[in-house]
Each structure stands twice: as structure tokens, then as C-alpha cells.
Amino acid sequence: MRPFVRPTALTALLLSGAALLAACGTTVSLDEPIESRTWSLVSIGNQPLPVDPDPQRGAQLQFDGARVTGSGGCNRLTGSYQRTGHSLKIEQLAATRMACLDNTRSIIETDFLAAIKATTQYSLAGGTRLTLLDGSGRTTAVLESR
């Protein structure tokens, strides 16, 4: 004899399961892609950066397809990336080697490159704030899309 489940009991079970999954919220929304935007660096770790007087020259990233491009503030960056769920791997990162006459920009660029290389996951808040995280869940960098 096959067990019989009433439609109302099955519906209640399905709704309860959906509510439970919804309660397990996360700051990462896979419905809000990080691609096709310019992400400007606003902090390294938890240390806010001064506002750049020339935002076009500031540190930034763009994710498109499987490529990541951008600037460290002095040099152009390029590499590949993979995004799956909460994980974000940025690999084969290369940068031009132009001299950086602004010492502050040079320090920010060095720290930004280290943050990118340490990134293993990310968090997206409100569709405009991208937090890069290391394997321990610590913030390596925060970028904003305007």
C-alpha cells in the first residue's frame, strides 16, 4: 500500500521549507551580478581610504566574462576570475610596471594587489558595495559601484 499525503499537508511542508530557507539569509545576492560595473576601491581591510581627487585614476576593478581588468591607481591590471556562489578567485593577475610618482598611490596600489591576491570569497550589499574576503572571512578590500 502506498502512503497517502494530503495536498494540504504537502503544501504546508513545502511552505515551511521555503520559509526556513528564506530565513537563512546572506549578504551575497547571486541575482545581483558584479559584472559590467566599475568598482572603485574605498578601503583596504577595514581602513577607509582618502577620497581620490581624480576618480578616473583611482584603484578600481571591472569584471566581465571571465576577465577582470582595472587599475591599482598607478598601473593597469588584468587577470582572470571565477565566481561561484560566495567564492571569488582572481587568478593570473598581471600589472604594468610604470613608475608611480605619488607615494600614497604607490602604497595603496601595493596593498590593493595584496588584497586581490588574498581574496577567496566576496559579499555584495545593496548592489553597490562589494567586499572582498580572504579564506578566514576577513575583509581584504571594499569597493563601491557608483
Report how far residue 41's alpha carbon sits from residue 21's, in angstroms, rounded to the nearest whole number.
33
Residue 22 has pLDDT above 60, yes or no: no
31-35, 48-52, 65-69, 88-92: which range is least confident on average? 31-35
Q: Is the pLDDT of residue 26 over 50?
A: no
> Region 55-70: what's the mean pLDDT?
92
- Alpha helices (runs of H) in the chain, residue ranges in sequence order: 7-23, 103-118
Q: How many CA atoms lie within 13 A of 21 on its CB side?
A: 6
What pLDDT does residue 8 have?
52
> Please, what's the b/e burial string for 16-41 (b: 16 or more CB within 10 A of its CB; e: otherwise)?
eeeeeeeeeeeebeeeeebeebbbbb
Reading the block at residue 14, the C-alpha cell is 513545502
Residue 12 has pLDDT above 50, yes or no: no
Neighbours of 43 (CB within 10 A): 16
Mean pLDDT of the chain, nearest integer: 83
Cell 569597493 -> residue: 143
Q: Tell me the pTM.
A: 0.76
Which of the four pLDDT bands, split at 50, 70 and 90, describes residue 53?
A: confident
User: Does the pLDDT at position 13 exceed 50?
Assistant: no
